[in-house]
């Protein structure tokens, strides 16, 4: 008589539970890493907008009042990561010769890291200082 060796149902159930627990930790960490990379992309684009603004100031003695006047197109910046995640704009800054470059993040795709339910904005002023991240809503997403 041959001895049959196989996994029992209980052993298979334990493996499925352990894998489920590991996945429940891995997915949120992955989503946070993706959101951090998207934020890094926004910081890079805002820095490029500032560089273009400095060129505009040197060439025209004034900052550009819109992105269309710059030699940099931020709409193409997210091309390597698919559809654009941020909407970029320029706002008047404090003082007569200032500007603020703004990156606005909506809630699509869903936010995972920011703590903002409906999006946030990142601002960079003419001095190259980031003004932080402002929530468009104070409601928090689930961690």
CA dihedral 76, 120, 113, 27 (to 10 degrees): -60
Pairing of β 120-125 and β 99-105? antiparallel
Asked if the structure places residue 90 within a domain, the reply is yes
Asked if the structure places residue 108 within a domain, the reply is yes
| Tally of CB atoms within 10 A around 107 | 15
Asked if the structure places residue 69 within a domain, the reply is yes
Closest by CA position to 56, among listed 74, 75, 73, 69: 69
- pTM above the 0.85 mark? no
Asked if the structure places residue 18 within a domain, the reply is yes
The pLDDT value recorded for residue 14 is 94
Asked if the structure places residue 3 within a domain, the reply is no
Asked if the structure places residue 79 within a domain, the reply is yes
Query: Tell me: the pLDDT tens digits for 7-53?
Result: 889 999 999 999 999 999 998 888 888 888 888 888 888 988 888 88
Asked if the structure places residue 141 within a domain, the reply is no
Give the pair of three-digit tokens for residue 56: 């505009």
Closest by CA position to 105, among listed 93, 97, 114, 95: 114
Asked if the structure places residue 1 within a domain, the reply is no
CATH number, domain with residue 63: 3.30.700
Number of domains in the chain: 1
Query: Tell me: the pLDDT tens digits for 65-123?
Result: 888 888 777 766 655 556 778 888 888 876 667 888 888 887 776 665 556 767 788 88
Domain containing 45: what range?
9-135
């Amino acid at each position: 008589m041959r001895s049959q060796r196989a996994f029992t149902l209980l052993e298979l159930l334990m493996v499925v539970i352990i894998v489920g627990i590991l996945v429940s930790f891995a997915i949120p960490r992955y989503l946070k890493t993706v959101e951090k990379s998207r934020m890094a992309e926004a910081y890079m684009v805002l820095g490029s907008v500032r560089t273009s603004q400095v060129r505009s100031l040197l060439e025209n003695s004034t900052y550009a009042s819109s992105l269309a006047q710059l030699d940099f197109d931020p709409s193409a910046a997210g091309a390597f990561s698919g559809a654009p995640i941020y909407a970029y704009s320029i706002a008047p800054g404090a003082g007569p010769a200032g500007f603020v470059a703004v990156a606005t993040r909506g809630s699509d795709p869903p936010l995972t890291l920011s703590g903002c339910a409906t999006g946030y904005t990142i601002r960079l002023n003419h001095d190259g200082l980031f003004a932080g991240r402002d929530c468009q809503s104070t409601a928090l997403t689930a961690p």
